[in-house]
Amino acid sequence: MARITTGTRQSPTGRARTRASAGAGLLLLGALLTGCGAEPGEIPLSEIRPETPTATPEATPAATPGVVGAAVGAPAAAAHNGLIVSRAYTDAARTSTAIVTLSPDGTGQHQVTQPPARALDDRPDWSPDGATIAFDRTDPQTGTARLWTVLTAGGPEHQVNQLCDSGTADCANEDERAPAFSPDGKQVAFSRSWGALDPSGSHQIQYSDLYLMTPEGTDVQRLTFLTNDKPYSGAVSNPSWSPDGKQLTFEYRTSATGQPANSRAIYVVSADGTGLRQLTPWELRAGDRADWSPDGTQILFTTYPAGPDNAPGGGIYTVHPDGSAVGALTPAPSDAFYGAAAYAPDGKSIVFAQAPAGTGADLYSMRPDGTGVARLTNSADKWLSRPAWGTAEAPAAPADQVQASAQPSDQASGQASSAPQAPRPDAQQPAQAQGQAPTEKPQPESDSDE
């Protein structure tokens, strides 16, 4: 039987919530179902839901997409626009992905992680100080992911203490993805999936929900209970924090047996696990990682049309945190794919992934109202995607590599750019779309297990 230590933390309402805590070392969650007094299908004590579970949220009323470019308020304070982090393929066969950084104008790409052959490094996120990048790495043998960190300047990657390291039932197929640092850097939100696979052959995992922990992998707390009473109903992924650290958005993608079936939407939950609600209507099919504007007045998200992953016809939208004023930044129709988007630290630009029909994805920028689109990269073979924009500076080049010149260098220095760069002469403007964005890789990619 796996050994656990349980404790409680009080919510503002005074209700105790079960949590798992760890000592110095690996954290083990849950107990073996068989032989531990649990009924068939019952989850371990470490997963008991609170008195008022978040499993039955009220959906936000569907909002009609408005005019292009919902207004964005002015950031509370000036911020420095530093490096952009993204994932990229490392080989022509597209079997491995690594984490890369680049300057705001798209130059100076630098590969930060060195994944093993056929491993997939994905879903990067910046620490608030810009010194560290968190990401998930999918093992090519097991197909499951674990959380890792790496210094912005590169170097050895470090695996965060994983929740399960035993063969107990609640650790079966255990998978941890999509880390997201809290604004104060004291917590990391992430998605966890575990349990048996759907016997119908759909490969849907039994349970999937949102968790919090420290950056070191301790003090793990389950935040949502969407699949608690509905095994195989869907998957939770891609959390993102509000600037004040009080709320998180995340994607909920339903399975063939979910309600509604095979759909996706963005949800919001408070950092104490209360107040769960659906932010976007199912009709929009919003997915991947949403992003909050620096002033907290807008949430940026991407939509995906029904059908196979990477189908064209998606788009990038904004919505107010209360679910009102849905606005499309990329008008339809389009034959392009759209990927995840993120605000610049100063809130004056947006970086996003886009792939014209028949090509790989590149990174583009635009203003918060959807105008001023500029292509940042021209390396579609790498399928740059899932960008996040931080404040970190580009690592300084060794002294013997610095070339003296009286003229400014053509290479980006990592300094901030308050507005999107002008399109390069050979740049293609991304096709405009509403609807959905691609999952950003040629093979099908599902945030449910993935």
- pLDDT tens, 171-215? 888 999 999 999 999 999 999 999 998 888 778 999 999 999 999
Q: Rounded to the nearest 5°, which phi and psi values hold at 282?
A: -60, -30
Residues 6 or more apart whose CB falls under 8 angstroms from that of 381 comprise 89, 92, 360
Name the nearest CA neighbour of 70 among 293, 323, 317, 364: 317
pLDDT band (50, 70, 90) for residue 58: very low
Residue 171 has a pLDDT of 83
d(CA 216, CA 61): 39
Name the nearest CA neighbour of 377 among 432, 427, 341, 414: 427
- Among the ranges given (188-197, 382-391, 426-435), the one the predictor scored with the smallest mean pLDDT: 426-435
Q: When comparing pLDDT for 243 and 48, which is higher?
A: 243
Look-up of token digits 């999918």: 138
Handedness of CA 19, 24, 27, 28 (dihedral sign): negative
d(CA 277, CA 9): 22
Own/partner long-range contacts of 38-43 (Cβ < 8 Å, ≥24 apart): 41/231, 43/170, 43/207, 43/228
Domain ranges of the chain: 77-395
- Among the ranges given (28-32, 55-59, 72-76, 248-252), the one the predictor scored with the smallest mean pLDDT: 28-32
pLDDT value at 239 more than 60: yes
pLDDT value at 446 more than 80: no
Q: Are 129 and 345 in contact, with CB atoms under 8 Å apart? A: no
Burial classification of residue 68, based on how many CB atoms lie within 10 Å of its CB (0-12 exposed, 13-18 middle, 19 or more buried): middle
Residues 6 or more apart whose CB falls under 8 angstroms from that of 200 comprise none
pLDDT value at 19 more than 50: no
Count other Cβ atoms within 10 Å, centred on residue 93: 8
End-to-end CA distance of the chain: 28
Name the nearest CA neighbour of 173 among 140, 152, 196: 196
State mean pLDDT over 152-175.
83
pLDDT value at 24 more than 60: no
- pLDDT tens, 118-146? 999 999 999 999 999 999 999 999 899 99
pLDDT value at 108 more than 50: yes
The CATH number fitting domain 77-395, selected from 3.40.50.2020, 3.90.1150.10, 2.120.10.30, 1.10.287.1060: 2.120.10.30
- Considering the entire predicted model, what is its pTM? 0.76
Count other Cβ atoms within 10 Å, centred on residue 156: 8
Look-up of token digits 């996120």: 125
d(CA 158, CA 149): 5
Amino acid at 284: L
